[in-house]
Amino acid sequence: MRFTTLLAGLALMGGLAQAAEIRLGSLSLDWPAGYTLKSAQPPFELAGPRGMKVLVTVLRPGASVSADTRGKMQATVDRMLTDQAARGGKVAVPLAGEALPDGTVLRFIGSQTSGLFGSGYLLQYALLSPGGPLALLTFEGKGDAAAVHADVKGFFNSVQWEAGEGSLAERTAFTERAAALLRAQLGPDAVVIAEPLTLKVGDLQANLDRVWGYCRTNAAGCDAELQRYLQGVADVRKNAVAAVSREAVRVAIRPADYVQNLLRADADAKRPPPLFRPVADGLVAVPMVDSPRAARLLHEGDLKTLGLTADQAFDLALANMRQTLKPTADAARPARPGALGTIQGDYYESSRLLLRDDWAALARAQQGVLVVAVPAKDVLVYGADDSAAGLDALRTLAREVARRSPGQLSDVLLRWTDGGWQAVR
């Protein structure tokens, strides 16, 4: 589990032992000597001088941002920075900002923290680019907040933004390459390019967005990641008629639109309707047949093979999930107000929503406040802050995860209650 502070959950970037330009996503900065990359996955982490910890991420709110939208973004950012600074300690660097040479707006605030081992600092910075992307950064360590801020603030004069998510020609070429690799496994007629970064493989859709995003910042690992993803797509296609066993039954969360599309397709083909249950606003649960490299829907015919009713199949799926997923109590530790938690890695992480009783202990540990989102099939994010700023932070993180994932689900926020999950309006 990746556990972060409010802005770290939205945040940060990489570094080297010598002064160097470091690019992560569409942002690059010149980092001086003494910064070492600790994590190459968002939120990126650096170790700085004298035990400093740095976190950063780059968010892209949309294809274009108007002046009005940019103003609203800055107001939201200022509110988040202020709330987190107040929780961090005594504000030592007041909220302020300036325009950087390239037109980027820099906003910052700093707190002097205190603890058992002495005084420390929490410095927060936000970069709002002229074209829309937003970067959020935190610096934490021991020392004087104002003095460290004076040293750090100069980094941002070197900010540069890379335009967009790559040109149309680049995305098209990447898609054509992926299609060619997949056709080599499945045959020349099995794969159709629907649009850049989207392939149709029979009834399946393969989204290349996540792999494309990875390849743009990890050239050395691109080929291996693309091959791994395409192998998974091929396996799903080849195992579309895989045999079913009780041990293989699982349950997955899907958008309600997904089931609506299946209902229309099944009605047109005069097939039995898919099995599903409503979960929460815009989300449904569907039973699956799982295998090491593929998964498919569990159909009515499978129920006959297994000798189960639909209700029994869902009960069996939940029992199997408890056997295979790491216990929620171990995967999700309590978050303090102003912090975000993430559970990720397993294909069925989002299905933890269905294990509702497992969340009761976490909700109690968070003074009764537990808000979650399932932005992707393999990611669940949660927080303990239901203030406007806290909900904005969780929603922004969910949207960013969904945008980068080929297995997008929903950015709807859900509050845990004794009676079930309730959508946060």
CA dihedral 372, 376, 378, 384 (to 10 degrees): -20
Q: Token pair of 371, please? A: 């808000």
* CA contacts within 13 A on the Cβ side of 316: 19
Residues 112 and 14 both lie in one domain = yes
Instruction: Choose one of 131, 161, 191: the last residue of a domain.
Output: 161
pLDDT at 383: 93
> What is the count of structural domains for the chain?
4
Residues 83 and 51 both lie in one domain = yes
CA dist., res. 406 & res. 258, Å (int): 14
Helical residues (DSSP H) of 349-387, grouped into ranges: 360-365
Q: pLDDT tens per residue, the chain (425 residues)?
A: 333 333 333 332 222 233 345 555 567 777 777 887 776 555 677 888 888 998 887 776 544 456 677 788 888 889 889 988 888 889 999 999 999 887 889 999 999 998 766 789 999 999 988 777 788 899 999 999 999 999 999 888 888 776 545 667 778 888 999 999 999 988 888 898 877 888 888 766 677 876 887 776 566 778 888 888 898 888 877 765 556 889 999 999 998 888 887 787 667 667 788 899 999 888 999 999 887 666 778 888 889 999 999 999 999 999 999 999 999 999 998 988 778 899 988 889 999 999 988 999 999 999 999 999 999 888 999 999 998 888 988 998 888 888 766 677 888 999 999 888 999 97
The partner residues of 57 in beta bridges, in order of sequence, read: 136
Radius of gyration of the chain (CA): 23
- Give tens-digit pLDDT for 6-65: 333 333 222 223 334 555 556 777 777 788 777 655 567 788 888 899 888 777 654 445
Residues 319 and 347 both lie in one domain = no
Instruction: Choose one of 104, 133, 161: the last residue of a domain.
Output: 161
DSSP-assigned letters across all residues of 289-332: EEETTEEEE--HHHHHHHT--HHHHHHHHHHHHHHHSPPHHHH-
Residues 278 and 397 both lie in one domain = no
Residues 24 and 130 both lie in one domain = yes
Residues 55 and 102 both lie in one domain = yes
Residues 82 and 28 both lie in one domain = yes
Q: Token pair of 285, please? A: 């649960």
Residues 140 and 114 both lie in one domain = yes
Residues 276 and 339 both lie in one domain = no
Residues 114 and 13 both lie in one domain = yes
pLDDT at 110: 95
Residues 10 and 156 both lie in one domain = yes
204-207 and 249-255 strand pairing: unpaired
- Give tens-digit pLDDT for 144-160: 999 999 999 988 888 87
What global pTM score does this model have? Answer: 0.53
Residues 319 and 383 both lie in one domain = no
Please identify which residue in the block is written with the tokens 């992707």.
376
CA dist., res. 329 & res. 248, Å (int): 24
The residue segments making up the domain with residue 394 are: 332-423
Instruction: Choose one of 299, 324, 349: the last residue of a domain.
Output: 324
Contact of 167 with 174, CB cutoff 8 Å: no
pLDDT at 140: 93
